[in-house]
Chain A
């Protein structure tokens, strides 16, 4: 019974999102072309799945560090640099598997570099990762003559990990890496202690440095998966001026929402569900021609604030409901 309740609560968000968008799009002329309703098309499932896979990978990478008390600014730059190198290796070798392995290897190396800079530099994590971001972004201009990677996504054979059903492989690996580290390794559990009380954790003998190292290796694996999906779907150009943080921020909303939705189950499920819900919202906005431009930004902002306000007040709402129930029983 409890499992059913949890499942229903978890699925509530995307279901609600779907129903709300269905109602809004159904009432708009813009969503009918030649008399056909364009929201309920097979294309919706396809787009939601493809976009959600990418979102899940980046969101998990951000969340893995965030739940350990570290906000890693460099995740976007790491992903872009890995994608450029992996894409070019893929083009040179004509092998998507080699591209995937390169993405993971490069991403792990970059993650370990960030971790080392943090551990040995002893500089606050945000500042460290801003430094790493600037460095990784600058390297995007120096590798492969600063041309980025353009032709990878257009080759169906190479871009298999950016399309259905191939996209499920990197997404599955990213989810597995997250679950294994967080729930099935000692370092994952130690990380939880450190995030709750860093000083106490260190005092009871947890080696913070090795814990950070391990968490960054797993983050590297997840970001490598995000990189291979990204390069399989997009032209990847060199970036500068912390613009990669913008790419990262575009995937951050499901992280925060996933934390909340995950209360009914666990964080990884919360993030997956949040990503799907957000992509349904985006698809609906696209149908309404609000998928880009000013109104999309404002709707997104209101959504973020509203969602946070609701989750921030959840305790009060629960207490109020409990009081209401108690009063009724007494009456």
Chain B
């Protein structure tokens, strides 16, 4: 039922976009230069995002300049943003909430719009909301998955685990978890708590109850470095790891090094390449679930910035900038993986993107008078793995 509703919403939006395409055919967008500051310089997400953006270049009359932020140094990030402004950008899509106060000040001074991608801007949201989210030049952000106040990843993880147990000869009955520190990703702690609560609820009626090792702050919270090999000594007897800490490289290499990759199943966020060899029924069968954010969610900040540059806003544009949860592809089986490998995330080929340049143009206020903010937000929140197959 849920899937049907999602499909219906998506169909309606695509129909509206198609109408928009027709009406927007004559509109010529202003030339814009957008800076895109990534949180890392390589990897599937970066390659795919660049390919997607470049494919939109002609239709939206936009040129992109790329830069890389650090994950830890505010001053270096400010310098990167300043260099982008120096390069003459009209707007910046930023993937990191670090040094945002000074960055927004810089953008305000230079008249450059700022919006986020793959980042919940939680520090700014909770500590500097007025300064950042109420700034005229901050337009909003598309979170990497769910916002901390909108977390559903715990439910998704249990659903994936039960889906695996249903098809597996030997269901998993003992799992542990891994998360990043709360100060960086509060949604992961919420997700882990949600997962534990769901399991407790499930166990009330389950034939094979599942034991979840409680989160050990010193062992299970990964400080952005790979999991320690003693993790397995500290979680004896586990059959699966539920990793909310994005990036398989934080968990999987340690499993391999400790010789645990054949015995323990991994449910994790973040696809980094190579997982497909040991996914589902392949290879060591280590990976049984993988969650990936759709690169197409960059459409949100892009459209908002381009609207501002073109001087046209959505009629329902909120007064204060928002952070929106975005869709994550949940790869649960061999079949899902077969679909996923045809996505732009995996192929890096813009032809595999879920939106064509004309469809993106139709999402903008200047390209389609009927386009709305709510439409854009809903569309990006309802992209599923089934949409790739389409």
A118 to B284, CA, bound (A): 47
Contact with B along A33-62 (1 / 0, CB 8 A): 110101001010011001000000000000
- What chain B residues lie within 8 Å of A234 (beta carbons)? 253
Contacts A146-B41, A238-B41 given; does A38 touch B274 at CB 8 Å: no
> B126 in the interface, Cβ–Cβ < 8 Å?
no
A238 to B223, CA, bound (A): 21
At the interface, is chain B mostly helix, strand, loop or mixed? loop
Contacts A34-B236, A159-B256 given; does A154 touch B272 at CB 8 Å: no
> B259 in the interface, Cβ–Cβ < 8 Å?
yes
Binds A, one of B150-158, B224-232, B304-312: B224-232
> B163 in the interface, Cβ–Cβ < 8 Å?
no
Contact with B along A138-168 (1 / 0, CB 8 A): 0001000111101111111001001100000
Closest partner residue, chain B, to A146 (CB atom) = B42
- What chain B residues lie within 8 Å of A21 (beta carbons)? none
- What chain A residues lie within 8 Å of B223 (beta carbons)? 292-293
Closest partner residue, chain A, to B247 (CB atom) = A235
A154 to B259, CA, bound (A): 11
> B135 in the interface, Cβ–Cβ < 8 Å?
no
A145 to B284, CA, bound (A): 28
At the interface, is chain A mostly helix, strand, loop or mixed? loop
Contacts A153-B256, A235-B253, A292-B225 given; does A147 touch B42 at CB 8 Å: yes
A177 to B200, CA, bound (A): 58
> A240 in the interface, Cβ–Cβ < 8 Å?
yes
Q: Are B230 and A154 in contact (CB under 8 A)?
A: no
Segment 197-250 of B: residues with Cβ below 8 Å from A:
218-219, 223, 225, 228-230, 232-236, 249
Q: Are A235 and B249 in contact (CB under 8 A)?
A: yes
- What chain A residues lie within 8 Å of B41 (beta carbons)? 141, 146, 238, 240
The contact of A154 among B219, B225, B232, B274, by CB within 8 Å, is B274
A240 to B69, CA, bound (A): 13
Q: Are B228 and A291 in contact (CB under 8 A)?
A: yes
A170 to B330, CA, bound (A): 40
Bin the interface of chain A by size: 35 or more
How far, in Å, is B287 (CB) from chain A's closest CB? 10
How far, in Å, is B213 (CB) from chain A's closest CB? 10
Q: Are B258 and A43 in contact (CB under 8 A)?
A: yes
Contacts A34-B236, A41-B233, A43-B233 given; does A154 touch B256 at CB 8 Å: yes
- What chain B residues lie within 8 Å of A233 (beta carbons)? 253, 256-257
Q: Are A155 and B277 in contact (CB under 8 A)?
A: yes
> B252 in the interface, Cβ–Cβ < 8 Å?
yes
> A281 in the interface, Cβ–Cβ < 8 Å?
no
> A287 in the interface, Cβ–Cβ < 8 Å?
yes
Q: Are A289 and B233 in contact (CB under 8 A)?
A: no
- What chain A residues lie within 8 Å of B225 (beta carbons)? 292
How far, in Å, is B280 (CB) from chain A's closest CB? 14
> A30 in the interface, Cβ–Cβ < 8 Å?
yes
Q: Are A141 and B257 in contact (CB under 8 A)?
A: no
How far, in Å, is A223 (CB) from chain B's closest CB? 21
Closest partner residue, chain A, to B231 (CB atom) = A286
Q: Are B230 and A38 in contact (CB under 8 A)?
A: yes
How far, in Å, is B239 (CB) from chain A's closest CB? 16
> A211 in the interface, Cβ–Cβ < 8 Å?
no
- What chain A residues lie within 8 Å of B318 (beta carbons)? none
Q: Are A150 and B218 in contact (CB under 8 A)?
A: no
- What chain A residues lie within 8 Å of B230 (beta carbons)? 38, 43, 283, 286-287, 291
How far, in Å, is A24 (CB) from chain B's closest CB? 14
- What chain A residues lie within 8 Å of B235 (beta carbons)? 33
> B273 in the interface, Cβ–Cβ < 8 Å?
yes
> B55 in the interface, Cβ–Cβ < 8 Å?
no
Q: Are A151 and B274 in contact (CB under 8 A)?
A: yes
Closest partner residue, chain A, to B40 (CB atom) = A237
> B278 in the interface, Cβ–Cβ < 8 Å?
yes
- What chain A residues lie within 8 Å of B337 (beta carbons)? none
- What chain B residues lie within 8 Å of A289 (beta carbons)? 218-219
Closest partner residue, chain A, to B252 (CB atom) = A154
How far, in Å, is A150 (CB) from chain B's closest CB? 4
- What chain A residues lie within 8 Å of B274 (beta carbons)? 150-152, 154, 235
Q: Are B228 and A33 in contact (CB under 8 A)?
A: no
Closest partner residue, chain A, to B261 (CB atom) = A154
Q: Are A154 and B47 in contact (CB under 8 A)?
A: no
A30 to B233, CA, bound (A): 11
Contact with B along A101-116 (1 / 0, CB 8 A): 0000000000000000
Q: Are A141 and B252 in contact (CB under 8 A)?
A: no
Q: Are B259 and A46 in contact (CB under 8 A)?
A: yes
A150 to B229, CA, bound (A): 19
- What chain B residues lie within 8 Å of A47 (beta carbons)? 229, 257-258
In the A-B complex, the 9 residue pairs with the closest CB atoms: A151-B274, A289-B218, A38-B233, A150-B273, A286-B230, A150-B274, A235-B249, A286-B228, A146-B42
Chain B residues close to A by CB (< 8 Å): 41-43, 47, 218-219, 223, 225, 228-230, 232-236, 249, 252-253, 256-259, 261, 272-275, 277-278, 283-284, 286
Other A-B contacts than A50-B257, A235-B274, 7 sampled, CB-CB below 8 A, are A38-B230, A43-B232, A146-B41, A148-B42, A151-B274, A154-B261, A234-B253
Cross-chain pairs A/B with CB under 8 angstroms, 14 sampled: A38-B230, A43-B230, A46-B258, A145-B47, A154-B253, A163-B259, A233-B256, A238-B42, A283-B230, A286-B228, A286-B230, A287-B233, A292-B223, A292-B225
